Amino acid sequence: QNYFRMYRKLSGMTGTALTEEPEFREIYSLDVVEIPTNKPMIRRDNNDLVYRNLEGKYRAIVNQIKDCHAKGQPVLVGTISIEKSEFLSRLLDKEGIKHNVLNAKFHEKEAEIV
C-alpha cells in the first residue's frame, strides 16, 4: 500500500476494479471509472452451489470438468492450495481426463505451461 503512495500520479486498467471500488477510494484515494464494453456481455453468472461434504463438492467439480472436456471446452480450475490442486489432479487421473496442473511447486513447469 505504501509503495503506490510514492508516486504523484497513478492509473491502471482492470476488469475487476469496480467490485473493489471502496478499497481503492479508502486506501489509495483513487476513483474507479467503469468503461462500458463495446459488445454485449455474453457471460452467464450462475448461483453459488453448496455441498454437504468435500466428497460431494469434488465429485461435482470432476463431473463439470468431464462435461466441458467432452465438448472440447477448455477449463481453468482455481484451488486454494498446492495440496488441493494435486488432490483434484489425482481425481482427474482416475477418470482418465488429460490435464495440466499449474501451481507454485515446480516453477520451471509453471513457466512452460504459461
Determine the average pLDDT of the residues in 35-42: 90
User: Which pLDDT belongs to residue 8?
Assistant: 83
Determine the average pLDDT of the residues in 29-40: 90
46 vs 67: CA distance, rounded Å: 16
Determine the average pLDDT of the residues in 74-101: 95
CB within 8 A of 68, min separation 6: which ones? 74, 75
Q: What percent of the chain has pLDDT over 70?
A: 91
pTM score of the predicted model? 0.62
114 vs 107: CA distance, rounded Å: 11
Instruction: List the chain domain ranges.
Output: 54-113
User: Which pLDDT belongs to residue 4?
Assistant: 76
- Residue-wise pLDDT for 45-87, tens only, equals 999 999 999 999 999 999 999 999 999 999 999 999 999 999 9
Write out the three cell numbers for 43. Answer: 457471460
